[in-house]
Amino acid sequence: MNPVSVFNEIVENAWRSRCGWRATLASIVWLSVSSAWALEPVDPVTGAALWTPQPEAVELRPGLAVTYSYGRQVHVDDIEVLRNPVIGDPLENIAHRTIDGNVLTSTQAMLVAAHIRGLIHFDAAGTYVFRIESNDGVKVKIGGRQIWVDPEIHPNRWSAPIPMVIDTPGRYELWINYYQKKGTSALQLVWTTPGSSEETHVPPGAFSHLETQIGQ
SS3 of residue 185 by DSSP: strand
**Average pLDDT score over residue span 139-150:** 97
Give the sign of the dihedral formed by CA 141, CA 142, CA 147, CA 148.
Answer: negative
- Label residue 20 by pLDDT band (50, 70, 90): low
Please say whether the beta carbons of 185 and 89 come within 8 A: no
Q: What was the pLDDT predicted at 36? A: 45
Instruction: Label residues 89-103 b or e (16+ Cβ within 10 Å = b).
Output: ebbebbbbbbbeeeb
138: pLDDT strictly greater than 70 = yes
- What HEC string does 133-147 produce? EEECCEEEEECCEEE
The pLDDT tens digits for 39-84 are 466 899 999 999 999 999 999 999 999 999 999 999 999 999 999 9
SS3 of residue 103 by DSSP: coil
Q: What was the pLDDT predicted at 33? A: 42
Cβ atoms < 10 Å from Cβ of 154: 14
* Average pLDDT over all residues of the chain: 88
Pairing relation of β-strands 112-122 and 207-209?
antiparallel
170: pLDDT strictly greater than 60 = yes
Q: Which residues pair with 169 in a beta bridge?
A: none
Q: Give dist(CA 9, CA 205) in Å, integer.
A: 24
Q: Which comes out higher in pLDDT, residue 137 or 5?
A: 137
Could you give the domains of the chain? 40-213 (2.60.120.1560)
SS3 of residue 79 by DSSP: helix
15: pLDDT strictly greater than 90 = no
**% the chain with pLDDT above 90:** 79
Q: What was the pLDDT predicted at 84? A: 95
Q: What was the pLDDT predicted at 106? A: 97
SS3 of residue 120 by DSSP: strand
